[in-house]
């Protein structure tokens, strides 16, 4: 069978557009409405999406403007995906968990549990936290610096994956007749001692259906790419154009051989923000409906956060983007992307805030299913993507539009599955099941 693209449904409570919560079709309490998420999961699974993807931050914003944004209350991702595992059968479940404000034992245990609960559908989006406010919820005044976060992340990953191999696949026999619960020689105690962590192990969860949950990474700076090349099986990235996505794709795949990895062992899935209409005019009109709801100060607050935790409220709305230092606390890759966008198009602060209010800097396509499929096909066939994490302006409507329009179009072109290939996320993504390092 020819190569087909992978699709993730990025579930962002009310939707990706910052003003979506004010739209009449959107439940404003979506962030804590399980029935809403259940419906999203079922729409995505019926459309044969590979994964549900849930981002995270372990802090709520407190600036004045935050009271006008729907960002302050939402489910914790692993809890949410555990509940969704019970109402779905095939779709992958990717939760974000930070390596900066967690302990590896906790993370290893929770994701192994989710993999068991879901019959092998768990994925961990390993991030280092791009929200500076998290530090103060975990006993620190300042966020951990960029390089230090990645150093901790690398060791965190080693410990988590080591704990996942605590038991060989057939360690637990639970033999009532002989009284043997497990084979002692199939237990492996990690005894990790490193710069950041001391973790003895073993994990108190048997090796999970996928052997190890799928490792996803979102971070596209130089250091982020290197960590991804070493550890990630799926990479989520923000790219503005075909050319930049091709360069990123070639760069990241080019780093794999040095870690003894094949190009196929890592799937690159850029985000794509899509607004679907029956006609191009209808799609534009839909998009404008959301854009009209953006208050300039709200757009600029989102921009400041995406640029790497800057307060831009003191700068004139109709002035240019001010010169900012390289972010230590946020996403350096996104800062670069947004700064280049502002310069290239000579946008004022308010215009840039408005521009990213939906896609947040991700590649954006507003059009008919065929027009959107054309762009996805182009990226997929021209070395820019193995698939896409799909961002829609509002939920559930935007996801339903994509499922009803774009998915059948991709299927007609032979670019997307009509049935799930396997039972586990690894099988559907075409990723090998890792062997146990100790076996
Ligand atoms: C597309 C994308 C999505 C991300 N999603 C999250 C997230 O949900 N939560 C989070 O704390 N960090 C997220 N990050 C940022 C990571 O924490 C990243 O490790 C860190 O900010 C550094 O990014 P950089 O390598 O681009 O500088 C994301 C980054 C990218 C590029």
Q: What class is the 6-134+210-278+361-429 domain?
A: alpha beta
Alpha-carbon gap, residue 63 to 156, rounded angstroms? 32
Sign of CA dihedral 129, 161, 158, 262: negative
- Residue 2's pLDDT is 87
pLDDT in tens, 261-299: 999 999 999 999 999 999 999 999 999 999 999 999 999
Alpha-carbon gap, residue 213 to 370, rounded angstroms? 34
Residue 1 has pLDDT above 80, yes or no: no
Residue 223 has pLDDT above 90, yes or no: yes
114 cis-preceded (ω within 30 degrees of 0) = no
**Ligand 1 pocket, residue 368 CB under 6 Å:** no
| Percentage of the residues of the chain whose pLDDT score is greater than 70 | 100
Alpha-carbon gap, residue 281 to 367, rounded angstroms? 8
Mutate which of 57, 127, 144, 309 for ligand 1? The one with the most ligand atoms within 8 Å of its CB, which is 127
Nearest CA to ligand 1 atom 18: 219
For residue 160, the CA-to-ligand 1 centroid distance in Å is 19
pLDDT in tens, 86-119: 999 999 999 999 999 999 999 999 999 999 999 9
pLDDT in tens, 124-178: 999 999 999 999 999 999 999 999 999 999 999 999 999 999 999 999 999 999 9
**Ligand 1 pocket, residue 224 CB under 6 Å:** yes
Mutate which of 251, 331, 391 for ligand 1? The one with the most ligand atoms within 8 Å of its CB, which is 331
CA distances from 306 to 71, 321, 330 (A): 13, 13, 8
Q: Where are the beta strands (DSSP E) in 109-190?
A: 122-127, 172-175, 180-182
Domains in the chain: boundaries: 6-134+210-278+361-429, 295-356
For residue 281, the CA-to-ligand 1 centroid distance in Å is 34
pLDDT in tens, 348-377: 999 999 999 999 999 999 999 999 999 999
pLDDT bucket at 246, cuts 50 / 70 / 90: very high
Mutate which of 125, 219, 326 for ligand 1? The one with the most ligand atoms within 8 Å of its CB, which is 219
**Ligand 1 pocket, residue 239 CB under 6 Å:** no
**Ligand 1 pocket, residue 96 CB under 6 Å:** yes
**Ligand 1 pocket, residue 233 CB under 6 Å:** no
For residue 180, the CA-to-ligand 1 centroid distance in Å is 45
């Amino acid at each position: 069978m020819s190569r087909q693209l992978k699709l993730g449904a990025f579930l962002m409570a009310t939707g990706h557009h910052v003003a979506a919560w004010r739209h009449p079709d959107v439940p404003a309490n979506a962030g804590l409405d399980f029935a809403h998420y259940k419906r999203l999961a079922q729409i995505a699974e019926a459309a044969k999406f590979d994964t549900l993807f849930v981002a995270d931050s372990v802090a709520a914003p407190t600036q004045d403007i935050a009271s006008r944004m729907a960002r302050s209350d939402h489910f914790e991702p692993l809890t949410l995906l555990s509940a969704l595992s019970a109402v779905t059968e095939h779709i992958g479940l990717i939760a974000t968990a930070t390596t900066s404000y967690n302990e590896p034992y906790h993370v290893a245990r929770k994701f192994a549990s989710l993999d068991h609960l879901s019959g092998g559908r768990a994925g961990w989006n390993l991030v280092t936290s791009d929200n500076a406010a998290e530090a103060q919820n975990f006993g620190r005044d300042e966020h951990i610096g960029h390089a230090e976060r990645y150093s901790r992340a690398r060791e965190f990953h080693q410990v988590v994956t080591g704990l996942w191999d605590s038991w060989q696949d057939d360690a637990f026999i639970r033999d009532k007749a002989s009284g043997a619960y497990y084979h002692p020689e199939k237990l492996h105690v990690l005894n990790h001692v490193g710069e950041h962590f001391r973790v003895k192990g073993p994990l108190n969860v048997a090796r999970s259906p996928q052997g190890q949950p799928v490792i996803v990474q979102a971070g596209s700076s130089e250091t982020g790419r290197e960590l991804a090349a070493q550890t990630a099986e799926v990479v989520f990235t923000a790219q503005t154009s075909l050319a930049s996505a091709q360069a990123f794709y070639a760069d990241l795949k080019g780093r794999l051989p040095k870690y003894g990895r094949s190009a196929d062992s890592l799937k690159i899935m850029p985000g794509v923000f899509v607004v679907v209409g029956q006609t191009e005019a209808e799609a534009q009109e839909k998009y404008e409906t959301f854009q009209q709801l953006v208050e300039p100060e709200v757009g600029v607050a989102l921009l400041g956060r995406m640029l790497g935790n800057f307060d831009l409220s003191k700068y004139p709305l109709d002035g240019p983007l001010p010169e900012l230092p390289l972010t230590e606390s946020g996403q350096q890759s996104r800062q670069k992307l947004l700064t280049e966008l502002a310069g290239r198009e000579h946008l004022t602060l308010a215009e840039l805030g408005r521009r990213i209010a939906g896609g947040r800097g991700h590649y954006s396509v507003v059009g008919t299913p065929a027009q959107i499929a054309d762009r996805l096909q182009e990226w997929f066939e021209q070395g820019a993507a193995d698939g896409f994490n799909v961002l829609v302006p509002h939920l559930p409507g935007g996801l339903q539009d994509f499922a009803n329009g774009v998915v059948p179009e991709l299927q007609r072109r032979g670019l997307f599955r009509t049935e799930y290939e396997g039972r586990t996320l690894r099988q559907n993504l075409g990723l090998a099941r890792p062997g146990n390092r100790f076996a």
